[in-house]
Structure 1
């Protein structure tokens, strides 16, 4: 269920998206014009209501020994899609599976691999689950930015 967010909530979410690890309650409070205790209470409420589901590291897989970032587009029968997505997450190297609501290319798999042999093993494991692979690509670079609805423009002047 959607939760109504005010400008303070949006400002806090913006700060968390920018740098959740190092942003302090005092810094966020200064940015949104409230006290640090208000920020801590709001974060607790955002977490307890499921708006903030966790804090995740941004891992450089290449530096961790996984030089290849693979994006695989798959096709699965809609009734089987959810269970297959769960099975895909169990495969070695898979870091994310997106289950699409529409279209025939309805499972998108992101994985990392140390070398081309590991990519071949991954693709064989995917087809071994009875999933049709439409395409597989090696990712060069991923660009990410925070969702702008929680951007600096949403932060109240304080």
Structure 2
């Protein structure tokens, strides 16, 4: 990485980590990229230090884990308070993720889990008490996460270029 710009090696490392960060070692990635494992570890450390890699997260099947209700709660927050309210929403028991949206009135999305509708109602009430205006609630059947394939494309071959 130079001047905050990822090169093709960094992008490839990110791609392979997105596939299975826990089950992919530096040796595995090094072998795929024809690099030394120490080079890959150094690159990963740099990506972590720069904040590009913010963490390694589990992909949980909440239904199998005993939380059959997985919901997205869509809220509106005053723009001047959006960051603070989104941060405080993360502290509500049962909230698993919070997204801040930069456009429109629906500008805070909260993912939450529960065993019952009463638990989801409690979460919604706590979000309301924080000052978030709940616009919509959606029960999610399942969510699938996948790696960004653009990390494997060279910059010259990226979709949308005129070459």
Instruction: Establish whether TM, by shorter chain, passes 0.5.
Output: yes
The answer as to 2:72 corresponding to 1:71 is yes
Aligned ranges for residues 128-147 of structure 1 at < 5 Å? 128-147=129-148
- Write the distance in 1 (CA, Å) between the matches of 2:138 and 2:147: 25
Distance, in Å, in 2 between the alignment partners of 1:49 and 1:145 is: 23
> Structure 2, unaligned stretches of length 5 or more?
155-163
What is the aligned-residue RMSD (CA, Å)? 1.5
CA contact (8 A) 1:29 1:39 kept: yes
What count of residue pairs does the alignment treat as equivalent?
152
TM-score by length of 1: 0.89
Structure 1: segments with no counterpart, 5+ residues: none
Residue aligned with 1:149, SS: helix
Work out which structure has the larger RCO, using CA pairs closer than 8 Å and 6 or more positions apart in sequence.
1
- The C-alpha deviation readout for 1:76-97, integer Å capped at 9, x for no partner, is 1111211211221111101111
Please tell me whether the aligned partners of residues 71 and 108 of structure 1 are also in contact (alpha carbons under 8 angstroms): yes
1:11–1:31 contact (8 Å) kept in structure 2: no
Q: CA deviation at 1:36?
A: 1.3
Counterpart-to-counterpart distance in 2, 1:130 and 1:40: 43
